[in-house]
Structure 1
Amino acid sequence: MRVFLGIELPEDVKQSLQSLPKQPSEARWQTNEQLHLTLNFIGEVDNDTLETLRHRLQSPPLEPVSLRLKGVNVFGSPKHPKALWAMVEPAALLQHWHHTLRDRLEAVGLEQDDRDFQPHVTLARFGRKAVSVEEFLKANEEYLSPSFTAEKLCLFASHLSDEGARYEVIERFPVGTL
């Protein structure tokens, strides 16, 4: 099973994101069901590892955090994007969550990527064709979502298909329960 840790977005935040213009049309825009905030990608795990992981996550040493999405950005370049995304603030608190969870994952033998973590919500993905998103970035630089509190850590399963990824919450873990 392909899994990752993340945060579910409240419905009002999803609706706010869905109200952004779907331009350029060449993008593969995320559906309401696909919108989430990834904290730690884990990858393929077997059932034994999944059970160990579930046990290890029962009491994440995390505190609830108030968040909002503010502005948009791009992975790749504005003239050749790989993905459009909404920025998350305060990023430093989610970076703390990410690093704490990374340590827990590594403690059960799940290697983690050492790249810098940039908290974000993916809005759209692009193929190899060069498409400009400069207008989208400029038009939505002041985007601001409703505030929300992340009170649960979610273990997601990712199911890949030709129609895109489908994400399923396997389990929710309350935070701040130590």
Structure 2
Amino acid sequence: MKNHFFLAIPLPGSWKEEFSFYIQKINSKFPFARWVHPDDLHITLAFLGSVDEDQKEKLKVLLRKVAKEHATFPLSFSELGTFGNQHSPRIFWYGTEESYALHELRKDVYQACEKVGFQLDTRPFHPHITLARKWVGPGSISRDTLPEYSTIKNTFNVRSIILYETHINKIPKYEAKAEFPLIGE
């Protein structure tokens, strides 16, 4: 089975640590089957799936160009949310504030991926950090209580794009394979 790849914005180490403490505080209140390892926290820009070497090398060239067209920019955290059925959500996430710079970066990353032949997700972009997967709790998650747990409101600077490879049987499961620094880094 081939490993899958994706492009993402990494969280700075200090924010991975902050989210690690945060997850420890809230995980007993939100019963999900799998919580994400702090080293795997990121904001996905594009899921690629399987990638052959030729595609990967062509994509790296294009992503270097994309990175050189975007300056570093601040990004703020906003609130908790879920994807999927309210009674059994599949993804528990922490979102980001609206950011024109982030949407423009993602648009350019998508265009680079499409030039290399990737078929990408067409759903609207909803930037977030996945914290946990697969609700196993009794009852359903109350979205009304999420705001009281949405306590991380700080900002970090987006400095690069990372090409990650997924290793299903490892923890942490995401390995950085290439980094593309934005202007200013």
Where do 4+ consecutive residues of structure 1 move more than 3 Å?
127-131
Maintained 8 Å contact 1:16/1:145: no
Once the two structures are superposed, the pairs formed by residues 76-155 of structure 1 within 5 Å of their partners are 76-126=84-134, 132-134=140-142, 137-141=146-150, 143-155=151-163
Deviation at 1:165, TM superposition (A): 6.7
CA 1:27–1:114 in 2, change beyond 3 Å: closer, same or farther? same
Deviation track 1:101-126 (CA, whole Å, cap 9, x = no partner) reads 11111111112221111000001000
Deviation track 1:149-175 (CA, whole Å, cap 9, x = no partner) reads 0111111111113x6770011111111
TM-score, structure 1 normalization: 0.86
Maintained 8 Å contact 1:13/1:145: no
Q: CA RMSD in A?
A: 2.3
For residues 105 and 54 of structure 1, the distance between their equivalents in structure 2, rounded to whole angstroms, comes to 10
Deviation at 1:130, TM superposition (A): 6.6
Verify: 1:174 aligned to 2:176, yes or no.
no
Maintained 8 Å contact 2:39/2:172: no
* Consecutive unaligned residues in structure 1, runs of 5 or more: none
* Consecutive unaligned residues in structure 2, runs of 5 or more: none
Maintained 8 Å contact 1:80/1:130: no
Q: Which moved further from structure 2: 28-37 or 15-24?
A: 15-24
**Which of these residues, 44, 47, 52, is aligned with residue 41 of structure 1?**
47
Deviation at 1:14, TM superposition (A): 1.8
Deviation at 1:145, TM superposition (A): 4.0
Deviation at 1:147, TM superposition (A): 1.3
CA 1:36–1:125 in 2, change beyond 3 Å: closer, same or farther? same
Maintained 8 Å contact 1:4/1:41: yes
For 2:166, what is the secondary structure of its paired residue?
Answer: strand
Deviation track 1:126-153 (CA, whole Å, cap 9, x = no partner) reads 0677752227624314x22431101111
- Name the one with the larger helix percent: 2
The corresponding residue for 1:6 is: 8
Verify: 1:25 aligned to 2:31, yes or no.
yes
Deviation track 1:72-129 (CA, whole Å, cap 9, x = no partner) reads 1110133221111001123433222111111111111112221111000001000677
For 2:39, what is the secondary structure of its paired residue?
Answer: helix
Maintained 8 Å contact 2:11/2:41: yes
Amino acid at match of 2:9: I
Deviation track 1:52-74 (CA, whole Å, cap 9, x = no partner) reads 11122112132211012111111
Between Structure 1 and Structure 2, how many residues are aligned? 175
For 1:123, what is the secondary structure of its paired residue?
Answer: strand
